Structure 1
Amino acid sequence: MRILFTTLLGSGHFHPLVPVARALQQAGHEVALATSEQLRKQVESQGFRFFRAGGERPQLPQGAMAQVMENMMRMSHETRREHMANMFAGHFARKMVSDVMALASDWRPDLLVRDSMELGGAIAAERLGIPHASVQVGAMLPQDYSFPLMVERLDEVRATVGLPPEPQPHSLYHYLHLSFVPPHYLGGSMPPTAHYFQPAIFDQSGDEHLPEWASRLGQNGRPVVYVTLGTVFNKVVAVLRTLVEGVREEPVDVVVTVGRDVDPAELGPQPAHVHVERYIPQSLLFPQVDLAILHGGYNSTTAALEYGLPLVLVPIAADQPMNAARCEELGMARVVEPLSMTPESVREAVRDVLKTPSYRENARRFQREARTLPGLPRAVELLEKLAREKAPQFRT
């Protein structure tokens, strides 16, 4: 069976697909990924066939990218939704539909699997007459794609391949949706085709490993605090600098990752107990961590929770405010707003989370519930069944 994965540019979109794609490949299926040229090396390094699709993001200088992200922090809710509709549906989905239709004329997939924020793959699959599935990669729920401008933009894309408009974008979840978190985590209403699985973490898309100094973390009973803004929003170095200033005077060991494309020297000189690196696979680091300070990205947040770690979250943009609000609601995190954040407010939040047992207890509840869910073999079974039956796979 041939299975085509479609994903937007970015580790946060690509990484969640890798365990599923790898499991299908190991089950004997032919797997390819269609995505940005900028991900070609990562895709091919994992042993998958690569197709260029979905368009490219402009390569901006770091300073310009940081300014874009700082502007995003100040967007109103309505402006964010307008941006999302124009970008994810109006731009990326339109390009992905065109590219998938073209590549499918030669490489004919039997099934399409997309990251849940990549919307064009579902429209292309519908036009091609093949079933499609999605993998949850952010906090966005079905209702979050139902506001008028989003529906309008999706209908415009549908029209480019001769599909009629939809009153609501139900077809995005028509066949099967895979979510690698416990059912209660996302909140809201999920479609009847949503199925839940144990977290399947992939974050080693390069050759990085644990540094030598990692073996000495936490000596003398010092808590270990991990600080990162991920691999996209790491450009907002001013936020990262404030986080480090807030935590480095505490009696803790600090690990900071700034991303592959940011120079650690931008944070300036640090005391010996503060370790600054470009990138460390979190799956290697988290077993030694006591508290994670994150931007609220879906993948890093759920990965930390899978290790039972309490959180301090600083949501910048995209779905991060939604993730942060949900974690705070479930008692697993303190949220610090980036626009009003000071080193003192960061320090107070860190002290609170470290000394209050309920944050860790609630994070470990997430961990326990996640580990009772089915694993990847069940996801493969459902995808194979979907390809055979070409019918919705409803949750029982």
Structure 2
Amino acid sequence: MAEVMVTVMPFTGHVTPVLQAVEALRGAGHRVRVYCGSRFAAQAAATGATPVVWRHAPDFDERDLRATFPRAGRPGPRGALANLEHVFVRTAALQAQDLREEWERRPWDVLVADSLSLGGALVSERLGTPWATVSVVPLALPSRDLPPPGLPLAPGRGRLGRARDAALRGAVRVASGRLRRALRQTRAAAGLDPAAVRLDDQWFSPFLVMALGIPGLEPERTDLPAHVHFVGAFPPGGDAALPPGWEPALRARRPVVHVTQGTFGTDPDDLLRPAIAGLGGRSLTVAATTGVVGRDALPFAVPDGVLIAARVPYARLLQLTDVMVTNGGWGGVLAALRHGIPLVVAGRDLDKPAIAGMVARSGAGIDLRTGRPSPEAVAAAVDRVLTEPSFAQHARRLADQLNAHDTAGEVVRLVGQLVADGARVVREASPWAA
């Protein structure tokens, strides 16, 4: 039995898969603590782990980022950079302080960090202890073979394409100068050499990276580090009953379209309103979730027959879904594909436009190329996905790859190997090797 510290940023999309990893580690007999925001402490405790809440670090609520970080919470590229700087980077030294105090109270054998939880990376470097990354968003490791992470672009082909990608990588380095300065200041505040680790490398353990996803969704690269392991996706939770009236409606003899904006960036005008306007009143069953606990209605008229709820048991819903219309959250995309469900993606900001591009290039869905599509665009995309068999065929192909993984078992095995080997790289052959 090992003593494990798990760190996770207090966002629902991060906490949900990380707590599934915690349940797996607890099931294997490990003693686990979870460093998270106070809003998620009860969920962490429900796994049998011991929650450790943010104390020195600002304990914020994802539903109102600007209450704690006035410069964050805005849409668009500048907003994404502000989120990274103020929410993820500039809180990391205080996260590390919390964790250092917890270490002094009771040391751990290994730390497992959400890929955007920099406090775990900093305290592990300071203590010289082994740590692992769980990448709960698409793998954002830069590569000489690819455009910069986060851009919705296919890898360039030929000399001109490779030159384009190299130029873009240089441009991103310039554009992220403020973020790099913030990291240097944060490292100094944590008692570390400000220049010892580059921004691109700071997010990932040098010993073990467990990436949610599969190579079938990733562009091939020749320089993937040997300690990166794709582990598939945890099964979506929730086998409780659906809301009253949903089950018979979803089982009616017509296609079911699930519409979701995930749990972050939940302005219903972005996707719910145009999707419902485009799909409502047609020979479809539209099942929409607002993503906000307590928001079981929408602030606009909804056609008869459209089902609305804050959240629903996903495992049950996806068994009955034919197409998902989504803003591109990674967890929701993987959950749909795990069920072989093709997608229509409207990615607005953060990593979502890049995820939309990944889905489109895989053949398993359509990228609407905007986060606020027209009703006509949503309806036309859903019609294509329902009538062209290739989308469902590609979604089933990816489902086979995802379901070939025992994600919980792989996390337990890999973390156990890191504990046994100490500060040694947990290696795997390239997933694209012949």
**Partners in 1 of 2:317 and 2:398 — Cα distance?**
19
What is the CA-CA distance between 1:316 and the residue it aligns to? 2.1
**Partners in 2 of 1:220 and 1:264 — Cα distance?**
22
Tell me if structure 1 keeps the 8 A contact 2:270–2:372: no
Paired position in structure 2 for 1:392: 425
Paired position in structure 2 for 1:201: 235
Which of 166, 181, 187 is equivalent to 2:196?
166
> Map of 1:122-161 to 2, 5 A cutoff?
122-143=121-142, 144=149, 147=173, 149=177, 150-161=179-190
**Partners in 2 of 1:344 and 1:227 — Cα distance?**
15
Aligned residues: percent identity?
24
Decide whether aligned partners of structure 1 residues 7 and 375 sit closer, same or farther in structure 2, where only a CA change above 3 A counts.
Answer: closer
Which of 266, 284, 289 is equivalent to 1:234?
266
**Partners in 2 of 1:167 and 1:49 — Cα distance?**
31
After superposition, the C-alpha distances for 1:26-59 in whole angstroms (9 at most, x for unaligned) are: 1111011001112112222232211012432357
After superposition, the C-alpha distances for 1:159-199 in whole angstroms (9 at most, x for unaligned) are: 22332223534362301111232123133654321112232
Paired position in structure 2 for 1:114: 113
Tell me if structure 2 keeps the 8 A contact 1:229–1:240: yes
- 2:363 paired with 1:364: no
- 2:66 paired with 1:51: no
Tell me if structure 1 keeps the 8 A contact 2:8–2:34: yes
Decide whether aligned partners of structure 1 residues 278 and 374 sit closer, same or farther in structure 2, where only a CA change above 3 A counts.
Answer: closer
Tell me if structure 2 keeps the 8 A contact 1:218–1:253: yes
> Map of 1:1-396 to 2, 5 A cutoff?
1-53=2-54, 54-57=57-60, 71-72=74-75, 75-76=76-77, 79-80=78-79, 82-143=81-142, 144=149, 147=173, 149=177, 150-164=179-193, 165-166=195-196, 168=198, 169-170=200-201, 172-187=204-219, 189=221, 190-204=224-238, 209-261=241-293, 263-338=295-370, 341-390=373-422, 391-396=424-429
After superposition, the C-alpha distances for 1:58-103 in whole angstroms (9 at most, x for unaligned) are: 57779999x999940xx24xx2563244135432322211211121
Question: Aligned partner of 2:13: which letter?
Answer: G
Tell me if structure 1 keeps the 8 A contact 2:131–2:208: yes
For the residue of structure 2 that corresponds to 1:254, the secondary structure is: strand
**Partners in 2 of 1:94 and 1:107 — Cα distance?**
20
Tell me if structure 2 keeps the 8 A contact 1:228–1:295: yes
Question: Aligned partner of 1:26: which letter?
Answer: G
Decide whether aligned partners of structure 1 residues 272 and 126 sit closer, same or farther in structure 2, where only a CA change above 3 A counts.
Answer: same
**Partners in 2 of 1:68 and 1:313 — Cα distance?**
28
> Structure 2: 5+ residue runs without aligned partners?
143-148, 151-171, 430-434
Normalising to structure 1: TM-score of the pair?
0.89
For the residue of structure 2 that corresponds to 1:226, the secondary structure is: strand
Question: Aligned partner of 2:349: which letter?
Answer: A
Decide whether aligned partners of structure 1 residues 68 and 312 sit closer, same or farther in structure 2, where only a CA change above 3 A counts.
Answer: farther
For the residue of structure 2 that corresponds to 1:285, the secondary structure is: helix
**Partners in 1 of 2:361 and 2:34 — Cα distance?**
36
**Partners in 2 of 1:111 and 1:357 — Cα distance?**
46
**Partners in 2 of 1:18 and 1:107 — Cα distance?**
21
**Partners in 2 of 1:246 and 1:267 — Cα distance?**
17
What is the CA-CA distance between 1:218 and the residue it aligns to? 4.4
What is the CA-CA distance between 1:337 and the residue it aligns to? 3.9
**Partners in 1 of 2:308 and 2:275 — Cα distance?**
13
What is the CA-CA distance between 1:216 and the residue it aligns to? 1.4
Tell me if structure 1 keeps the 8 A contact 2:363–2:390: yes
Question: Aligned partner of 1:17: which letter?
Answer: V
After superposition, the C-alpha distances for 1:239-279 in whole angstroms (9 at most, x for unaligned) are: 31111111112211111111233533324453442111111
**Partners in 1 of 2:320 and 2:36 — Cα distance?**
34
For the residue of structure 2 that corresponds to 1:138, the secondary structure is: coil
Aligned residues: 389
Tell me if structure 2 keeps the 8 A contact 1:196–1:374: no
**Partners in 2 of 1:2 and 1:113 — Cα distance?**
11
Decide whether aligned partners of structure 1 residues 35 and 83 sit closer, same or farther in structure 2, where only a CA change above 3 A counts.
Answer: same
**Partners in 2 of 1:347 and 1:232 — Cα distance?**
24
For the residue of structure 2 that corresponds to 1:242, the secondary structure is: helix
Question: Aligned partner of 1:22: which letter?
Answer: E
Structure 1 window deviating more from structure 2 (263-272 vs 170-179): it is 263-272
**Partners in 2 of 1:191 and 1:182 — Cα distance?**
15
What is the CA-CA distance between 1:325 and the residue it aligns to? 0.9
> Structure 1: 5+ residue runs without aligned partners?
none
Structure with the largest fraction of helix: 1
What is the CA-CA distance between 1:21 and the residue it aligns to? 1.1
Tell me if structure 1 keeps the 8 A contact 2:73–2:79: no
